[in-house]
Amino acid sequence: MAIGLHSYRPLVGGVTHMVSTGHYLATAAGYRILEQGGNAIDAGVAAGIVINVTLPQYTSFGGVAPIIIHHAASGETREISGLGRWPAAASSDYFRREHGGDMPHGVMRTVTPAAPDAWLTSLRRYGTMSFEQVVTPALELAAGGFPIPPTLHRALVSSGDNIILDEGDTSQWDSTMRIFYPGGRALGIGDLLVQTDLARTFQRLIDAERAASGQGREAGLAAARARFYEGDIAAEMVAFIRGQGGWLSMDDLANFAVGVATPPMIDYQSPGSADDIAVYACGPWCQGPMNLHALRILEGCDLRGMGHNSADYVHTVLEALKLAFADRHAWYGDPDFVDVPMAGLLSREYAAVRRREIDPHRASAEMPDAGNPWAHQSGQGRAARQPEPVAGPLSADTSYICAIDRWGNAFSATPSDGFGGAPIVPGLGFMVSARGAQSWLDDDHPASLQPGKRPRLTPNPALAFKNGKPWLPFGTPGGDVQPQSMVQLFLNVVEFGMDVQQAIEAPRASTWSFPNSFWPHAYRPGLVGVESRIAPSVVDELRKRGHDVDVWNEWTPRMGSLCAIEVDAARGTMYGGADLRRDGYAMGR
């Protein structure tokens, strides 16, 4: 099997299944499962756990994994909220009192690990295989190792990826150092990365499943889950976190479960298409509805008439995204704690109001004021305050997976939580999600820290349907750039007729005129990043309109790493796309 940075092949005649992921070995694992007779959910979970092994700088088995699944047999389209909750003992007062309002790296950011439950819940509800079958490719790679690619090596040596090894007492990072920095030096390109402890963790879960397998597949999956969240693995996580001063408890783990719900959706109306297009995203516990809100605003604009990546087009897309970010800041949070006006936010009436706020000749100098979506549904609420500018990094972790099979099942997931956020648990080989870094210490903010509350997550998979059938699973890593790159991919396909690989490779622009989701919530009013392949004349015109444009590399990973699969039902073909900005790869047959 050939391995490369990306793969695209329009497959004709009898296409049965396809996988596209953020790492070539994960794509190979998902394809292997499909060839063994598994469905898209089995393949997606297998690829996701391989991503946890092969992209440790971006994801972790103990991290997050939001998922959207379409199950053909039942007709269900569901989100699985693979996102942890703050421990019951967590307190924003602690950070204000002990750290002067800062939230330092490490175990104090820890929330309950959600990815294992998300993977197992997907298998139990919609898969066909055992945990042992789908985890075997990841187990083999963890135990036998794989060569370090340049992307991982750069992450190991770059402080920009939040690898914290030089802050005061570094003893809590010893377990991370032993795996990735043997002898105190980062593993080099071509060195073999072996993750023995992680392989043992997989084997322990397999052993639990085998012991209960006589009672059926679901009993085996439940036993593996119980060992992780209630058994000896849970006890080892808690002992390490609490030994470092963290809050995680056995009760926090035992009481945790991912949510399964119907995800938000819009029907996108393209002026040039008679197709019935529906787009699903995860709920406001993440930033997923931003994709839908921005598309609602943009569907009323003459995008084709502006021309792709013209100054008018880029300006309009950026200004629409700013409006969506303003509403994210004001209204999005864990709906178990916050009344989020989703119906109003996604209504065409509200989109029309926001669209009228776009000045075609002048950029908004900062993040716009939030709108009032409550005017378009019953109820009322109070928006978060306008923020002040804050310095800080523009973080961009995460990866992405999608799969479609011969039966019409579709899987779309965005796993995350790299090893730079918190130390690896000794003996287990993974870090426990430090996604608490996406909470706010302002108690009036909808994404504020509260015990039992989910931080507002950046990872957000999407799944679009055409004429009632799964058509386009898509997503990307990249922190706050995710909805921006996802919206541009969707428009490239729908409004400009590109195939998915062309849509992925097209140069992209991004706004940063909003508070970043990661602590310390950096806010750069007016800042725009564009890839250098966007015409200099367009850059000049954007600057004339008031955008503070920073020209980035022509294929910068800062713009994410999109993956997508497009189903052409009329031709009976699938088209897989993967991004050469990182290590993506697509494969199908």
- One DSSP character per residue, 445-489 reads STTB--TTPPPPB----EEEEETTEEEEEEE---GGGHHHHHHHH
Alpha helices (runs of H) in 346-433, residue ranges in sequence order: 348-355
User: pLDDT value at position 337?
Assistant: 97
In a domain, 373, yes or no: yes
pLDDT in tens, 284-342: 999 999 999 999 999 999 999 999 999 999 999 999 999 999 999 999 999 999 999 99
What are the tokens at 344? 């109003």
Using a pLDDT cut of 90, give the percent of the chain over it: 87
pLDDT in tens, 124-145: 999 999 999 999 999 999 999 9
pLDDT in tens, 364-393: 999 999 999 999 998 887 777 777 666 666
Look up residue 550 and give its amino acid: D
Please state, in angstroms and rounded to a whole number, the distance separating the CA atoms of residues 126 and 221.
12
Q: How does residue 574 score in pLDDT terms, banded at 50, 70 and 90?
A: very high
Cβ distance 423 to 173 under 8 Å? yes
Please state, in angstroms and rounded to a whole number, the distance separating the CA atoms of residues 51 and 48.
5
For residue 578, the cross-strand partners are 563
What are the tokens at 180? 């990735």
* Section 498-523 average pLDDT: 96
Please state, in angstroms and rounded to a whole number, the distance separating the CA atoms of residues 469 and 30.
22
pLDDT at residue 8 tops 50: no
* Section 28-36 average pLDDT: 97
In a domain, 339, yes or no: yes
Please state, in angstroms and rounded to a whole number, the distance separating the CA atoms of residues 494 and 86.
39
* Section 81-110 average pLDDT: 96
Please state, in angstroms and rounded to a whole number, the distance separating the CA atoms of residues 31 and 588.
7
pLDDT at residue 13 tops 60: no
Considering only 7-11, 322-326, 403-407, which range has the smallest mean pLDDT? Answer: 7-11
In a domain, 328, yes or no: yes
Using a pLDDT cut of 70, give the percent of the chain over it: 94
Query: Which residues fall within 8 angstroms of residue 206, CB to CB, at 6 or more apart?
Result: 131, 132, 135, 139, 224
pLDDT at residue 420 tops 50: yes
User: pLDDT value at position 115?
Assistant: 98
pLDDT at residue 569 tops 90: no
Please state, in angstroms and rounded to a whole number, the distance separating the CA atoms of residues 562 and 585.
10
pLDDT at residue 267 tops 50: yes
Cβ distance 436 to 91 under 8 Å? no
Sign of CA dihedral 348, 350, 356, 361: negative
What are the tokens at 514? 């909003």
In a domain, 519, yes or no: yes
Sign of CA dihedral 547, 548, 552, 556: negative
In a domain, 220, yes or no: no
Residue 523: name the closest of 376, 322, 351, 337 by CA: 322
User: pLDDT value at position 472?
Assistant: 98
Average pLDDT of the chain, as a whole number: 93
Tell me, rounded to whole angstroms, the distance of Cα 319 from its chain centroid.
23
- DSSP designation for 377: S
What are the tokens at 454? 């989910």
User: pLDDT value at position 264?
Assistant: 98
What are the tokens at 511? 């706004």
In a domain, 548, yes or no: yes
Please state, in angstroms and rounded to a whole number, the distance separating the CA atoms of residues 145 and 143.
6
User: pLDDT value at position 392?
Assistant: 66
Considering only 9-13, 47-51, 95-99, 547-551, which range has the smallest mean pLDDT? Answer: 9-13
User: pLDDT value at position 380?
Assistant: 80
Q: How does residue 105 score in pLDDT terms, banded at 50, 70 and 90?
A: confident
User: pLDDT value at position 169?
Assistant: 53
User: pLDDT value at position 446?
Assistant: 97
pLDDT at residue 536 tops 70: yes
Report the run of H or E that residue 115 belongs to, with start and end.
helix 115-126
In a domain, 185, yes or no: no
What are the tokens at 43? 């393949």
In a domain, 160, yes or no: no
User: pLDDT value at position 22?
Assistant: 97
Residue 83: name the closest of 398, 535, 487, 494 by CA: 398
User: pLDDT value at position 1?
Assistant: 27
Residue 124: name the closest of 62, 49, 52, 209 by CA: 209
pLDDT at residue 356 tops 50: yes
Cβ distance 322 to 369 under 8 Å? no
In whole angstroms, how far apart are CA 242 and each of 235, 246, 250, 337, 434?
10, 5, 11, 26, 14
Q: How does residue 471 score in pLDDT terms, banded at 50, 70 and 90?
A: very high
In whole angstroms, how far apart are CA 153 and each of 59, 146, 501?
15, 13, 27
Cβ distance 396 to 532 under 8 Å? no
Burial status of residue 13 (CB atoms within 10 A of its CB: 0-12, 13-18, 19 or more): exposed
Domain count, the chain: 1
* Section 384-409 average pLDDT: 81
pLDDT at residue 14 tops 60: no
From first CA to last CA, the distance across the chain in angstroms is: 13
User: pLDDT value at position 395?
Assistant: 65
Question: Among all chains, which residue has been given the structure tokens 């969506």?
Answer: 324
* Section 466-488 average pLDDT: 97
* Section 533-558 average pLDDT: 97
Domain membership of residue 495 as a residue range = 265-394+479-562
Please state, in angstroms and rounded to a whole number, the distance separating the CA atoms of residues 478 and 475.
10
- One DSSP character per residue, 429-445 reads -SB---GGGG-BS-TTS
Q: Give the 3-state secondary structure of residue 138.
A: helix
Residue 37 backbone phi and psi in degrees, to 5: 100, 0
CATH code of the domain containing 517: 1.10.246.130
Look up residue 174 and give its amino acid: D
Considering only 152-156, 195-199, 254-258, 308-312, which range has the smallest mean pLDDT? Answer: 152-156
Q: Give the 3-state secondary structure of residue 146.
A: strand
User: pLDDT value at position 162?
Assistant: 45
Please state, in angstroms and rounded to a whole number, the distance separating the CA atoms of residues 279 and 253.
33
pLDDT in tens, 137-177: 999 999 999 999 999 999 998 743 444 444 455 677 889 99
Q: Are strands 527-531 and 548-552 parallel, antiparallel or unpaired?
A: parallel
3-state SS string for 286-330: ECCHHHHHHHHHHCCCCHHHHCCCCHHHHHHHHHHHHHHHHHHHH
